[in-house]
Amino acid sequence: MRADLYGPVDEVAPRLLGAVLRHGPVAVRLTELEAYDGATDPASHAYRGRTARNAVMFGPPGHLYLYFTYGMHWAGNVSCGPEGVGSGVLMRAGEVIEGLEVARSRRGRATDRDLARGPGRLTQALGLHPEHKGCDLLGDGPVTLEFSVDEAEMIMVGPRVGVSVEADRPWRFWIGDSPFVSDYKRSPRAPRMITGSPIPQRWDHS
C-alpha cells in the first residue's frame, strides 16, 4: 500500500480516489483530491523548502499533514513521494460512509451531502485536530487510510481550487459521478476524463 504513494504527485493523487480515511467511528470515502509538488509548485507549502510547519510533507510517505487555513479550519494532506522530497495530496472532499450520526453532530446543520464536501468540512466531520498531525495513516494509529480495491470508473481532472498561483495546473482529481465534490465556479479550462464515460452534465465543473 505504501508503494502506491511513491511517484509523481499528480500520479499518486488519483490513486487515492475511493480510499477510506477513518478516525474513530467516522469513515470518509475520498471523492476529490488535489496534488501539490514541492520545489516546482509555487502553490505548495513545500515550495520554499522544509520548515517546522511543513516537515511532514517531506516524508516518509503516508503521513497526515494538517495545516490551519483561512483562520477557521484544518485541512488534511497525505504525504507522498520519496522521503526528503516535499509533496502531498490535499483531501478536498469525501462521503461519510460510517459514523453518520457522529459526523452530523460535529457539522451542525450541514446536509449529508455537505458533511465532508470541502477540506475543512472533511477534517471536522472526522474530528481531526492538531495532535493528529504526523500520524502514520498506514499504521495502527488513531487515523488510518485504507486504499480501495475497486478503481473509480470515472476519474476527472481539472484546475485546482482556492490557490492564488498555479491555479490552472490540472492537478485536481475527482470521481465524476459523485455528488460529494466541490462546486467549482471558475473555468480556465474544461475538465477532462482519465477513465470511464464522460462526466454527467449536472456534475460538470466547467
Series of mean pLDDT values for 10-residue runs along the chain (206 residues): 88 95 98 93 89 92 90 90 91 98 96 96 96 96 91 84 86 93 62 49 28
Question: Strand, coil or helix: what is 181?
Answer: coil
Domain boundaries, the chain: 2-153
CATH 3.10.300.10, applies to 2-153: yes
* pLDDT tens readout for residues 17-26: 999 999 999 9
- What's the predicted TM-score (pTM) here? 0.88
C-alpha separations of 90 from 33, 105, 202 in Å = 6, 24, 24
* pLDDT tens readout for residues 63-73: 999 998 866 78
